[in-house]
């Protein structure tokens, strides 16, 4: 990872560690890796999209833990909405400290706030963040970390992700399918 992105990650870590719903440090590493893979094949500005990947879930830092871990669907949804609402001030603070200008910060925030509750996104950058977020769930480290946090078996995790993770780009879908085949082989041999 480029030095300037390392700096952003370093500034983001304290916020990511406050998220309680799952391990957001591991998740974020997966989303960044996914974004890097997508950008090998898809058009996009890495100076905007890598910071968007690093910072997309910092808003969880300000979401009450009882909402993040609630067994009530409504409360979990409320937490999900709040992690989007709470993101912009944190993202702005981190990016100003990392030396980003106002117009890039605005673009990055625009992409981040679109990663949930939006359908049929047109903007290619917004599409890539949604894809990177969904793709990271299929990587080995992220897949097994999520199982531990949600208390699922590998087969349950596999079926859930297969059903719910959707992609805008062909690249995202292809890498996801390949990774999920690997996860399936891992529980089938046991
Ligand atoms: Fe998120
Ligand atoms: Fe995420």
Structure tokens at 143: 């897949």
- How far, in Å, from the CA of 125 to the mean position of ligand 1? 15
Distance from the alpha carbon of residue 28 to the mean position of ligand 2, in angstroms: 7
Residue 38 pLDDT > 70: yes
Closest CA to 167 of 129, 114, 111, 117: 129
Domain ranges of the chain: 3-188
* 60 Cα to the center of ligand 1, angstroms: 8
pLDDT tens-place string over residues 54-95: 999 999 999 999 999 999 999 999 999 999 999 999 999 999
Report the C-alpha gap between 32 and 23 in whole angstroms: 15
Question: Mean pLDDT in the chain?
Answer: 97
- Where do runs of H (alpha helix) occur along the chain? 3-18, 24-41, 46-55, 65-68, 73-85, 87-97, 102-112, 124-136, 140-150, 154-164, 170-188
Residue 102 alpha carbon to ligand 2 centre in Å = 24
What's the pLDDT at 1? 83
Nearest ligand for residue 31 CA: 2
Ligand 2 center from residue 57 Cα (angstroms):
5
- With a cut of 90, say whether residue 29 has pLDDT above it: yes
CA of 180 to the centre of ligand 1 (A): 21
CATH class of 3-188: mainly alpha
Which pTM was predicted?
Answer: 0.97
């Amino acid at each position: 990872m480029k030095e300037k992105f390392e700096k952003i990650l370093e500034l983001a870590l304290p916020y990511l560690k406050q998220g309680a719903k799952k391990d957001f440090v591991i998740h974020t590493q997966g989303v960044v890796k996914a974004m890097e893979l997508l950008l090998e094949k898809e058009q996009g500005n890495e100076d905007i999209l890598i910071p968007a990947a690093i910072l997309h879930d910092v808003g969880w830092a300000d979401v009450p833990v009882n909402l993040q871990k609630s067994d009530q669907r409504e409360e979990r949804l409320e937490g999900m909405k709040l992690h989007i609402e709470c993101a912009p001030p944190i993202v702005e603070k981190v990016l100003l400290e990392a030396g980003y200008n106002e117009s890039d910060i605005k673009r990055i925030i625009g992409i981040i706030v679109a990663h949930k509750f939006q359908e049929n996104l047109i903007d290619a950058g917004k599409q890539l963040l949604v894809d990177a977020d969904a793709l990271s769930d299929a990587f080995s480290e992220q897949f097994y970390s999520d199982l531990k946090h949600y208390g699922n078996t590998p087969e349950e995790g596999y079926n859930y992700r297969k059903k719910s993770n959707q992609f805008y780009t062909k690249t995202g879908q292809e890498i996801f399918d390949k990774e999920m085949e690997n996860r399936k082989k891992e529980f089938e041999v046991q």
